[in-house]
Structure 1
């Protein structure tokens, strides 16, 4: 009897561990995203919330170069590029970049963009106010759209010994087809 009881305890423990692992699997992506947003890990940018912001960022006389990079998955028949490949911005000042996407197929196509910022240390200081990333964009055949990105570089970058000497930040987007969206054949 004791072996059955021990076996039952072992089975229950194994089932509990399996359930916990499944739960952690589902929680991993949101927890990782939260971690990246808080720390800027992997070039994750910050999202500006004017309601939560205690004060408007101070605009410094220091400037930084921002390079805009645009990529498209080979499975997406789009042309995608920044209107201007670089910009020099005052640290703390709001700025806007325009990206242009054009559907080069004879079919309606749905795409969405992911992004990152390099160097990674700059991610927690590159703050987006408005962005087209992670929003599905539907383009009709031959349609072209202009998509703005409003952003600023937080002046706290100058207080960070790992980031204060950064002279150029690259904001890179990659457009991918949306599963379930219409793809060119």
Structure 2
């Protein structure tokens, strides 16, 4: 009998290889989607303002309306971060489209350097798509030395297109809220007690 594989066996092998390649491609695609999920979600929030996410822009507004809106500022610290974090002013009344700068201040009240990172949102959430920040400190790792105080400016404007949104056309107040979370740094490594006169420390055990 011939040792050559039949055409039917060759077809099965090709089919199996095709299935294996498709499975590998599917797995690779799923892994890629998992890695891309976070940045894609962040991009979605930036574009749509979902969840009160503000917009990040590079240029100032070129249109200012003869209509005022009040922006209030909120500050929070979470996770036991030992910082005193406050806005320099609690609110500002400005014209819609007017570029405005305000500041927050953070002080490390602990006796060692500590690290923090801020997240933010605006309320009402629908206003996030029209709250444009030119400069901010959000999502930036910040280290403060013991007792150090840092001034953190925020430059922003409210997009004039907000008045064309039926649900927001009569909006009078927007609240911008920041929350600082701790960043876990390197933990100190405990050192063993020094031996005296060539003797092992009292709390050591024999080997």
Is TM > 0.5 for Structure 1 vs Structure 2?
yes
Shift of 1:172: 0.8
Q: Tell me: higher relative CO, structure 1 or 2? Use CA pairs within 8 A at least 6 residues apart.
A: 1
RMSD: 2.1
Name which of 92, 105, 114 aligns with 1:109. 114
2:180 matched residue in structure 1: 175
Q: 8 Å contact 1:98–1:149 — kept in the other structure?
A: yes
Which whole-Å deviations, capped at 9, do the CAs of 1:137-165 have from their partners, x for residues lacking one?
Answer: 21111111221101110111011123222
Structure 2: which 5+ runs fail to align? 1-8, 189-207
The 1-side partners of 2:171 and 2:70 are apart by 9
1:77 matched residue in structure 2: 82
- The equivalences for 1:43-82 within 5 A come to 43-50=52-59, 56-82=61-87
The 1-side partners of 2:85 and 2:14 are apart by 64
1:34 matched residue in structure 2: 43
Shift of 1:8: 4.8
Name which of 166, 170, 173 aligns with 2:171. 166
TM-score scaled by length of structure 1: 0.86
2:96 matched residue in structure 1: 91
1:19 matched residue in structure 2: 28
The 2-side partners of 1:112 and 1:173 are apart by 10
Which whole-Å deviations, capped at 9, do the CAs of 1:24-82 have from their partners, x for residues lacking one?
Answer: 111112222222222112212112212xx7xx431112111111111111331111111
Shift of 1:84: 1.4
The 1-side partners of 2:39 and 2:144 are apart by 29
Q: 8 Å contact 1:110–1:178 — kept in the other structure?
A: yes
Q: 8 Å contact 1:83–1:100 — kept in the other structure?
A: yes
- How many residue pairs end up in the alignment? 179
Shift of 1:85: 1.5
Structure 1: which 5+ runs fail to align? none
